Structure 1
Amino acid sequence: MHRITAGGSRLPAFALLSATLILASCGSGNQTAQKKGAGGPPQVGFVVVQPGEVPVVAELTGRVNPYQVAEIRPQVAGIIRKRFFAEGTIVRQGQTLYQIDPSLYAASVAEASASLQNARANAEAARIKADRYKPLAEAEAVSKQDYTDAVAASRQANAQIAQSGAQLQTAKINLNFTRVPAPITGRIGRSLFTEGALVTNNQADPLAVIQRLDPIFVDIQQSSTELLALRRALAQQGVVPGSANVRVKLEDGSEYGLTGTVEFSEVVVDPNTGTVTLRARFANPDGLLLPGMFVRAIFTQAIDTRAYLVPQQAVSRDGRGDAQLWVVGANNKAERRNVTADRTQGAFWVITKGLNPGDKVITQGIANLKPDADVRPVPADTPQKIEAPRKGQGTGASKSKGG
């Protein structure tokens, strides 16, 4: 038998052949195990979804309007003698704002008062005459016609008293109108007329404008299409009306600190804009909201009690724009679902159709999924386990050294 020298020593040929076969066998076993591990089902992360109360939040444009507006107009004609307020300040209800020259109206009061006294005197004389004619008419000392005329004259005199009294009251009212008071409490703007200006009771321009800014209104515009969809949703089971609380974002993007409430919704659609106006009331103690300001109103119009919140990365769109996602089906197989996802809420899609309570929605490892493919589901964000090589599973070189 031939002997082969290796490393200065002589080994039998059959021993060297046996060692070679053992090394080949070990290497083949490692490769088979690696292929088996690499070809297993892919690991996917899932979340279990349950229906919950998801608010239907609307963010609409709005314009700030004063709570009350009063245009100060004169009710009598005359010259403005004095102005009693500072422009841009807060005025109180009943506070005198202007004084119109009262001279003519004071004279009218005096004239009406004198007419009333004259009417009373005439009425007294007519009454006495009628009383005197009564017994004479009964004794036929005077004709009954004379007595009838005396009674009629007495009644006319009493009517003249009432007429003169009404004229005196009108004169006093006009005299009071020369003092122009504030009808409401609020902030008054600039005065459009100065002292010495002639004003009339039928002029087009007001003397000034008072606006009450605390509380204050925000008129919100919502399209009739959105309102119709909301009402249809409220007619279905599972959707209930939301709260009447409203928040607003100011023009600079900051949020107004106080919350308002919806007062009412108009029942007509503006034919020019196709919108319906909703009015919300806000407290405005610091005067931060000013009339004419544009804001964004945010409020919950309804609450969907059967909606699902699904992380946005789990939902994709097909070529037609329809939403779809993957769920873990029976026997751990991937199942594609078409769902209805019309809006987002934070980092979630709001799913209203296509899911069932307890579904396992795949949120991780969805890049290469295929329908009915086997998957290895684990809860989302589970770290992958990387195992160290087992003892004895070294490289071929090390095994050859050990062999």
Structure 2
Amino acid sequence: MKFYPYILCLAAGVVLASCGGNKNAQQQGPPPPTAVSVVKVTRGSATYYDEFPATVTALREVEIQPQVAGNITGIFFQDGQRVRKGQKLYTIDPQQYRASYDQAVANLNVQKANLNRAQKDADRYNTLAQQDAVAKQLVDNANATLEAAKMQVAAAEASIQQVATNLKYTTIYAPMDGTIGISQVRLGAAVAPGSTPLNTISSDDPIAADIQVDESEISRFIQLQGDKSAVRDSTFILMLPSGGKYPYPGSVQIIDRAVDPQTGTLRVRIAFPNPQKQLKAGLAANVRVKNSTGKPELLIPYKAVTEQMSEYFVWAVGDSSKATQRKVTLGPRINEKVVVRNGLDEGETIVTEGTQKVREGAKVKVSDKL
């Protein structure tokens, strides 16, 4: 009990201190405005590039297939060299086909001799029949034999054409100008029709890049295909795997005949000059296609945008220097800026730096030192 007065004094002191603290807090007032950087919403040229994954491919490509069976007896090119149409590439052992050809020629000569004999017999019997000196049955037999001999000659001639074609196929020539790849066979290898291709020849100047475009973009690319000025400008830019730009602009070469029903996309082939043979078929790259809305658009710095749950927001500053969060609909991104479709008006002020410190309804202070 003797400590009771001291406890009362201590409690009173705590109460007084609390009251004094609240009084001091009330005297401090609201927190100072948040320092931010701002920018005015303006309209500008909305020219930008859409980027599409692309695969470099040859505009023309031919697989060299054997048409007859046999062993490779000659290879007449260097792997990777440029070849001309009609240049000899491979030979397949022709011995069996030459023997078959000689046999077919001999058979044709035999059939021609039989035809000559049958013709003479038929002429003789027909002459005798005019004199009623021979039975009609013998005349009919002679004429039938003549017709059979003619058919035998025709069959022998067709056989010669077949074996001559096979003999011709023992030498393989380049079907087009282009660059030939690494040979898939070596001397002495056995080959046959339907087996692995011997090699591939592809054109390399110009060369192309295939992209897949959404079906909603078809009309745009049809228009670009007919635009001759697009060949000379930078409408189509090829981005190399190294990140650099290919120095020559491209143009629409082919638009595929049908949309893929599974993906809803259409293949478009963009042709590029390739004088230094820098581009190789199969190369993975990206094609940038210039796009423009054709009118000035609202543009803001992309760094002013914050994303929340797949939605986009900016902080707008009103006349009283209070910040208000606005939901915006974005268009294409153009370098460090982005097009705003909805949510802002031209001339409004938005926060570009310091957005992480801003709160709804709080006052902000424009500062250039952030």
Same structural fold, with TM-score higher than 0.5 when normalized by the shorter chain: yes
- Determine the C-alpha separation between the residues in 2 that align with 1:107 and 1:281: 49
| Cα separation, partners in 2 of 1:228 and 1:72, compared to 1, 3 Å | closer
Q: Distance in 1 between matches of 2:260 and 2:51?
A: 19
The alignment status of 1:269 with 2:256, answered yes or no, reads: no
CA contact (8 A) 1:327 1:360 kept: no
| Cα distance in 1 between the residues matched to 2:221 and 2:196 | 49
Q: Provide closer, same or farther for how the CA distance between residues 57 and 172 of structure 1 changes in structure 2, counting only shifts above 3 A.
A: same
Q: What's the offset of the Cα at 1:274?
A: 7.3
Deviations, residues 196-215 of structure 1 (Å, cap 9, x unaligned): 3333334x222223232222
Change (3 A) 1:241 1:177: closer
Q: In the aligned structure 1, how far is the partner of 2:267 from the partner of 2:202?
A: 21
- What secondary structure, in the 3-state scheme, does the structure 2 residue paired with 1:286 have? coil
Mapping of residues 159-178 of structure 1, within 5 Å: 159-178=151-170
Q: 1:360 aligns with which of 320, 328, 347?
A: 347
1:146 is displaced (CA, Å) by 1.9
User: In structure 2, what is the equivalent of residue 348 of structure 1?
Assistant: 337
Specify the SS of the correspondent of 2:293.
strand
Please tell me the residue identity of whatever aligns with 2:347.
K
Provide closer, same or farther for how the CA distance between residues 252 and 137 of structure 1 changes in structure 2, counting only shifts above 3 A: same
Mapped pair 1:288 → 2:278? yes
SS in 2 for 1:213: coil
* 1:113 and 2:108 correspond: no
Q: 2 CA distance for matches of 1:81 and 1:365?
A: 74
Q: Which has the larger radius of gyration?
A: 1
What SS class does the counterpart of residue 206 from structure 2 fall into? strand
Could you say if the C-alpha distance between residues 353 and 132 of structure 1 is closer, same or farther in structure 2, counting changes exceeding 3 Å? farther
Which residue does 1:214 correspond to in 2? 205
1:75 CA drift (Å)? 1.7
Partners of 1:141 and 1:174 lie apart in 2 by 51
Q: Is 1:135 the equivalent of 2:130?
A: no
CA contact (8 A) 1:49 1:361 kept: no
Moved more, 68-77 or 239-248: 239-248
The Cα offsets for residues 109-143 of structure 1, whole Å up to 9 and x where unpaired, read as: 22211222222222222222222222322332222
The CA distance in 2 between the partners of 1:97 and 1:66, in whole Å, is 20
Alpha-carbon distance in 2 for matches of 1:45, 1:102: 81
Is residue 309–residue 348 contact of structure 1 (8 Å, CA) maintained in 2? no
Give the structure 2 partner of residue 200 of structure 1: 192
The match for 1:8 is none
**Structure 1 residue 164 displacement after superposition:** 0.9
Q: Which amino acid in structure 2 is aligned with residue 310 of structure 1?
A: L
Q: Does the 8 Å contact 1:74/1:201 carry over to 2?
A: yes
Distance 1:151 1:194, change over 3 A: same
- 1:256 Cα deviation (Å)? 0.6
For the pair 1:49 / 2:36, whether they are aligned, the reply is: no
Give the letter aligned to residue 90 of structure 2: Y
**Normalized against structure 2, the TM-score is what?**
0.69
Partner Cα distance (1:141, 1:305) in 2: 101
Provide the secondary structure at the position in 2 that maps to 1:180. strand
Quote the sequence identity (%): 31
> How many Å apart are 1:254 and its aligned residue?
0.4
Alignment length (residue pairs): 310
Deviation at 1:45, TM superposition (A): 7.3
Determine the C-alpha separation between the residues in 1 that align with 2:70 and 2:151. 32
What is the distance in 1 between the residues matched to 2:273 and 2:221?
27
**SS of residue matched to 1:140:** coil
295 and 120 in structure 1: CA distance in 2 versus 1, 3 angstrom threshold: same
Distance in structure 2 (CA, Å) of the matches to 1:328 and 1:269: 50
1:195 partner letter? L
SS in 2 for 1:251: coil
CA pair 364-99 structure 1, distance change in 2 beyond 3 A: closer
Which amino acid is 2:118 matched to? A
Report the Cα offset of residue 295 of structure 1. Answer: 0.6
* Alignment match, 2:179: 187
The Cα RMSD (Å) is 3.8
Q: Secondary structure at the match of 2:224?
A: coil
Q: Whole-Å Cα distance in 2 between the matches of residues 265 and 55 of structure 1?
A: 27
Structure 1's 311 and 322: CA in aligned 2 closer, same or farther, altered over 3 A? closer
**Which of 212, 224, 227 is residue 243 of structure 1 equivalent to?**
224
Q: Is the 8 A contact 2:207 2:272 kept in 1?
A: yes
Residue 100 of structure 1 corresponds to 92
Aligned residue identity for 1:243:
L
Q: Compute the TM-score of the two structures, normalised by the length of structure 1.
A: 0.64
Cα contact 1:46–1:364 (8 A) shared by 2? no
Provide the C-alpha distance between the structure 2 equivalents of 1:314 and 1:180, rounded to a whole number of angstroms. Answer: 62
| Distance in structure 2 (CA, Å) of the matches to 1:104 and 1:229 | 59
